[in-house]
Structure 1
Amino acid sequence: MSYASSAMGGCYKNFGFVEVVRPFGRKVVVLGGDFRQILPVISKGSRADIVGSTVTSSYLWKYCKVGDGTIDTIDEDETTIEIPSDLLIGQGPDPLLELVNFAYPDLVANLESDSYFQERAILAPTLESVEHVNNYILSKLPGVEREYLSYDTPCRSDEDSEVHAGWLTSEFLNDVQCSGIPNHRLILKEGVPIMLLRNIDQAGGIMLGKTEYILRITLTPSDSGLPFKFSRRQFLVTLCFAMTINKSQGHSLSHVGLYLPMPVFTHGQLYVALSRVKSRIGLKVLIVDEQGVVSTSTRNVVYKKVFENV
């Protein structure tokens, strides 16, 4: 779906002359997007905060005209949906292994193939579930595990904060997990695929096929949601067998395994996850309920208010 700002605008009279209000400096601006996908991410924001941050809630939306595209009518903000049987997986004694074998067939034989990993992924709703899948796959691979631990320290600027300094022990900081920084404990095996959490050489251009040394870097989370700040010195890499649904937005893959140990929690996540794959035969879904039992249904979340002005 695309939408463009209108060339016309409102007008008002002032001291005998008329000034025409034309948004975007009288230029036509084309915006592309799909309101069925994930909306802007607002840290700790409510549903109203998220809806209010969308372009349809902007004062400029009245100047826009919606182009090609269709919007499905949504009856409920949250609804339970049944997944078609041909998309489900997990009937054996180890459901997660079935999903891994579907997404990564002949994994050991393809560990050194770049194109193999560019075409497939396992998606999950949270960082915790992604870490669980990555560690599970790592445990199934041959080789010796290498453990790399971070060095965590509280920031000096927080010495006078409300948080008691005695609480910020190394052991406490080691357990903190934040988006955008690596975990305290990083376990790897030779040959496993990893990805950088940040671009550490933006001026380097295309690095495909080149060998580079990755050093430990000290980072301070910009918005961890914690009442204190700390720094972590660690390698900026993580295993990449699995990724969050939010991170997968924009990818187009041939094989996708969707792992749902819990339902999606915000607008558009289920839609994004199911639409990452190029064809239906390249998708399998594993749904596990709170008791660890494989299920055939899951929750979908859609904010109806987003579509009111479309």
Structure 2
Amino acid sequence: MAIQSRQARQLLDVQYIIWDEAPMAPKYALDAVDKLLKDITELQLPFGGKTIILGGDFRQIPPVVPKAGRSEILNNDSNEVKVPDDMLSSGDIAIEIFGDIVTLEDMSAAVGRAILTPRNFDSLEINNKVLSKLPGREKIYRSIDEVMNDETEANNDTEYSLEFLNSLTPQGYPPHELHLKKGAVITLLRNLRANQGLCNGTRLTVEHMDRYILGCKIATGANKGQYVLIPRIIFCPPAYDTSPCRFKRRQFPALSQRPAAPVDLSNVFSSCRRFRTHPRDQSNL
């Protein structure tokens, strides 16, 4: 954010900032806001001297121990959560949510549906199963992965093999192998052109597949139906990433799963439990 921007001037004028659901935010988000306000106010006080009100209930974040006091919560060391049998599904999730979608015309209905999974591995497996129901030839796009050295950012192939890098899918990265077909629904992983509606979380349908570029149509929002081009980009780890294996990946910024972003959904299913449909589902899931 530029210091001379309108948003910066607004932050300079405010006295209080209310941050709802603060316990759900990572510590790096607080650090980023602290640094931003210090730069805007040119004061080295915490948060630039602004009063920050953190809202939310720390008792609602893990571990959750029903009817327990603070000492019982701190002493709780349970690592397992028992999911009741009546909340599990033994059927085919893909068929239950997407039905018999076998034509490109039916894919418009798939935009309003999603399967939520806690692990990327499960998500990719289900995505490939749904993709196999579409007609046409499947195309696989493989990424180019390179190890980043903190000092030289050069390759370090002697420590990590290329096969090992290909097997990793860090948070915010697309998979090494991106399976696509014409008509497939994908989700954008980066902000490309906000004025055209190409933001992180935008859902698109694949119309054309080239070696270095994807032709897609925006599936939701005010720009629905607009034809856009999606290039390959380079994904790099954030500055606060302390993992021993830091690498960059060149791949299309797309994923055939839906991240946690506001999207109107008519049919939602979790691989761990079923969600009842009510107004909050469609507005916030």
* Interval containing the TM-score (normalised by the shorter chain): 0.5 to 0.7
Instruction: Say if 1:42 and 1:139 are closer, same or farther in 2 by CA, change over 3 A.
Output: farther
Establish whether residue 108 from structure 1 lines up as the match of residue 102 from structure 2: yes
Amino acid at match of 2:278: K
Contact (CA 8 Å) 1:149, 1:185: kept in 2 or not? yes
Of 247-256 and 124-133, the range deviating more from structure 2:
247-256
How far 1:41 moved relative to its partner? 4.4
Contact (CA 8 Å) 2:103, 2:135: kept in 1 or not? no
Query: Could you tell me which residue of structure 1 aligns to residue 211 of structure 2?
Result: none
| Aligned 1:38-187 pairs, distance under 5 A | 39-41=24-26, 60=53, 74-75=66-67, 80=82, 82=84, 85=86, 88-90=88-90, 95=91, 98-109=92-103, 113-114=107-108, 116-159=109-152, 166-187=158-179
Query: Could you tell me which residue of structure 1 aligns to residue 265 of structure 2?
Result: 253
How far 1:81 moved relative to its partner? 5.1
| Aligned 1:270-285 pairs, distance under 5 A | 274=275, 277-278=277-278
Whole-Å separation in 2 of the counterparts to 1:31 and 1:154: 37
Whole-Å separation in 2 of the counterparts to 1:258 and 1:159: 43
Instruction: Say if 1:122 and 1:111 are closer, same or farther in 2 by CA, change over 3 A.
Output: farther
For residues 75-120 of structure 1, the C-alpha deviation after alignment (integer angstroms, 9 at most, x for no partner) is 367763536x4x6532xxxx3xx32222112322465544x23432
| Aligned 1:199-214 pairs, distance under 5 A | 199-205=191-197, 206-214=222-230
Aligned length: 205
User: What's the secondary structure of 1:142's corresponding residue?
Assistant: coil
Amino acid at match of 1:104: F
TM-score (norm 1): 0.53
Amino acid at match of 1:126: R
Whole-Å separation in 1 of the counterparts to 2:234 and 2:56: 47
How far 1:143 moved relative to its partner? 2.3
Whole-Å separation in 1 of the counterparts to 2:242 and 2:164: 16
For residues 12-71 of structure 1, the C-alpha deviation after alignment (integer angstroms, 9 at most, x for no partner) is xxxxxxxxxxxx73x6x77666x9xx933469xxxxxxxxxxxxxx9956xx899xxxxx
Contact (CA 8 Å) 1:253, 1:278: kept in 2 or not? no
User: What's the secondary structure of 2:96's corresponding residue?
Assistant: helix
Query: Could you tell me which residue of structure 1 aligns to residue 180 of structure 2?
Result: 188
Contact (CA 8 Å) 2:144, 2:251: kept in 1 or not? yes
Gaps of 5+ in 1: 1-23, 44-57, 67-72, 261-269, 283-310
TM-score (norm 2): 0.57
Whole-Å separation in 1 of the counterparts to 2:166 and 2:83: 39
Amino acid at match of 1:213: L
Amino acid at match of 2:190: R
Whole-Å separation in 2 of the counterparts to 1:120 and 1:191: 15
Contact (CA 8 Å) 1:111, 1:192: kept in 2 or not? no
For residues 233-253 of structure 1, the C-alpha deviation after alignment (integer angstroms, 9 at most, x for no partner) is 11111113xx4xxx3465553
Contact (CA 8 Å) 2:113, 2:267: kept in 1 or not? yes
- Taking only aligned residues, the RMSD between alpha carbons, in angstroms, comes to 4.0
Whole-Å separation in 2 of the counterparts to 1:248 and 1:188: 22
Contact (CA 8 Å) 2:169, 2:175: kept in 1 or not? yes
Amino acid at match of 1:194: I
Instruction: Say if 1:158 and 1:226 are closer, same or farther in 2 by CA, change over 3 A.
Output: farther
Instruction: Say if 1:133 and 1:159 are closer, same or farther in 2 by CA, change over 3 A.
Output: same
Q: Which has the higher strand share?
A: 1
Whole-Å separation in 2 of the counterparts to 1:194 and 1:255: 17
Higher normalized contact order (CA 8 Å, seq sep 6+, divided by chain length)? 1
Contact (CA 8 Å) 1:195, 1:238: kept in 2 or not? yes
Whole-Å separation in 1 of the counterparts to 2:254 and 2:129: 17
How far 1:214 moved relative to its partner? 1.1
